[in-house]
Structure 1
């Protein structure tokens, strides 16, 4: 049902407005073809989002990979507008559904919801004691938009096919980003459309796990299964091409996690761990660009350890409530002149950087309460994915059992990679965290229900 129909709008004036809009696009394209194309694509996105929240969510997922995040530029604003449109479409869908069709995220995942509310609320409250209350409030708004993906995704995914759409959109976006990076790297480290090697590697690790799940979900010999396998290969090459130590560590973490949580698939997971380790070693020695392989083996951390030292000093000085959300770059200058040499003080004084460790940054800015809230939220999401896997296993649904397991591993991989980057605002992280609850809702509640 279209957005206008869902809201009860039946005004023929819409036809006239569309005609005027089409004429305007035609004139714009004639004067500025690039601007006309961008406007057309934007309108297509708006129509898709407002017409069908699930299709809009899939497009939003792909767009999140293709629009480079630039806090000082327009890319972030574009994604904010896209997110608000998605939120409007979700509200319209919820408002027009019959009461028996509306599922409650609060009833399904109360721990996750309470943790999410506590996380955003505490972040906003931190503006009271923050050195820059404006930065804290602005970033709290960003967190709120990210957390809103939890109910949006829960409401948008109402069938197994819907779930495959969103996972497929994530894999497609990651594959395009990796392919773009591999083509454009010119022997340098792969940064993809994300524009950052470590961030690209983190998302590719998650995408690789999801491609494994899709490969298991699609029928043998099908075109979709072949495409998912190709996407997985591109993801592996992209991860190693980034030369990201965080990406390699995250990949190792998910392979170990696959062995730990593998259940009846533990033997296959262990074999995959051994094979992947050997293949990665061969690639890095024989095929990888020298810039990537050298970065992996060098001891240089490009200032990350100095940022971590300052982060530890900051938490020691503010052990209970932190310095306020988004205030690490602002307050870090106060902790330079303390015992302990810093080799890259410029990253703190001249061009202040984030912590490059999501957990330390949360601890610095929001204290233990903030970190506990986030870890509780993330843990509840992973547990929901594992519960879904067990339900599908009991029902004999092998494909969705493995897909559920791969989703849990994707989240684990991204969270491990975030030990080396500050990814708490990454909307694709929140998209992954939002996927397990609707998947669990789709899983049969009893073994005899197919």
Structure 2
């Protein structure tokens, strides 16, 4: 009796360090208010404090030199852009947000993950959040209680609401990428089958989000994951996806005129763009014009709205329409270029872009190098595929969107997952679930070196 109670307790204690990161993801399942910081944002701050307390208590070395350099690259550009912000308050707010998402939260997640079990638990929390938000989104589409789209309240937005229409799409897409990575790895058969089922289920709410950027990023990412996992598995998954497509279109009616028009609009972005695409082109042109006048340091954090109209064309509308999902009709101002690279370029200049993009590319290169190592084809293949998938999805989606809204904290946690594999997980590739190194004879043994890393 006592043994039966002791085993679960030890398992829970072993997972304790990563549970605050799981809580950050889980809190995004709660209803959100656009006017204030969400509980997940508050929890991400507590996550950083918790990590610092553990480092001081355990007297551990924080980050390796390589990790400190890679994660710290954006700091110089951010500091310069904060000093050039339109106001002191805007500079501090922008600096805090960027540091939270791209430096502090990823570093904290990297330090709190100690092995494959921690990594997989956090990856599964992404899948769980995606399933919850996706279920709410499908319900919104069926009951016509979602955000407004072409005069109907059918856009699936989950708990993020009409003010953050990309929130549910981001959560579902990241969960789908995690599920695909686990399914293509070498985890136990039941776990891989469950992950594959989750990935197929998440295709429906992703489609109903009507987010073209999320569709493109997810399709590209999952295709790359398939290729990296091997052609035999790729063929099997393609067959499964084809069957799922037949079921979704024929059985559930996912092929409505609105969805077909949205899919078709992807091919018409240059010939006959709709107003949202026209606005995006105008915003991109405006951001590029701002950068040409301030090439090195940009106009400062939060400075794009102030300089936007001076470089925008007449094709830019006054704002986007927001309605549905519990929100009254209103026009939402266009305060960013909806392209992360152009946003950074216009507000932080070349110095800021080289810092941020350099950090992201360094993570991607390290992650891919680890994936191509022979031992990555073993038990850690799922970790490698998930990490590379998350990075690739974010870097692709940044071409169609930028940070903003409560869902942004997911970006920080996803970067932390990817950073663990890129900067620490490869050295732990021969370790067991929680830092148990495998001896030459195959017997797991606890080592101080494995724990310290």
Give TM-score, length-normalised by structure 1.
0.75
Q: State whether residues 395 and 447 of structure 1, in contact with CA within 8 Å, keep that contact through their aligned partners in structure 2.
A: no
Q: Which has the higher contact order (CA 8 A, sep 6+)?
A: 2
Q: Give the Cα–Cα distance (whole angstroms) in 2 for the partners of residues 423 and 65 of structure 1.
A: 19
Moved more, 234-243 or 185-194: 185-194
Find out whether 1:423 has 2:403 as its counterpart: yes
Of the candidates 123, 131, 143, which is equivalent to residue 175 of structure 1? 131
Q: 1:366 aligns with which of 327, 348, 352?
A: 348
Distance change >3 Å, CA 156–CA 127, structure 1 → 2: closer
Gaps of 5+ in 1: 1-47
* 8 A Cα contact 1:201 1:247, kept in partner: yes
TM-score (norm 2): 0.74
Q: Is the 2:76–2:355 contact (alpha carbons within 8 Å) kept by the matching residues of 1? A: no
Distance 1:343 1:434, change over 3 A: closer
Query: Which structure: greater strand fraction?
Result: 2
1:208–1:346 Cα change, 3 Å: closer
- Give the Cα separation in 2 of the matches to 1:416 and 1:278: 27
1:143-222 alignment to 2 at 5 Å? 143-146=98-101, 147-185=103-141, 186=143, 188-195=154-161, 196-215=164-183, 216-220=185-189, 222=190
CA displacement, residues 390-413 of structure 1 (integer Å, 9 cap, x when unaligned)? 44x42662x421331232012211
CA distance in 2, matches of 1:182, 1:351: 28
CA apart distance, 1:279? 5.7
Cα deviation code 1:32-65 (max 9, x no counterpart) = xxxxxxxxxxxxxxxx99x943211111122135
Q: How does 1:71-150 map to 2 (within 5 A)?
A: 73-76=35-38, 78-97=39-58, 99=59, 102=60, 104-115=62-73, 119-146=74-101, 147-150=103-106
Residues 156-210 of structure 1: CA distance to partner in whole angstroms, max 9, x if unpaired?
A: 1112211111111111112111111111223512112233443432332222121
**Higher share of residues assigned helix:** 1
Q: SS in structure 2 opposite 1:435?
A: helix
Q: What SS does structure 1 have at the residue aligned with 2:82?
A: helix
Q: Which residue of 1 aligns with 2:307?
A: 331
The unaligned stretches of length 5 or more in structure 2 are 1-11, 145-153, 266-272, 321-330, 432-436, 443-453
Deviation at 1:448, TM superposition (A): 8.4
- Report the number of matched residues: 384
Whether contact under 8 Å (2:390, 2:415) holds in the other structure is no
Over the aligned positions, Cα root-mean-square deviation in angstroms equals 3.3
TM-superposed CA distance for 1:232, in Å, is 1.3
The 5 Å alignment of 1:312-323 reads 312-323=288-299
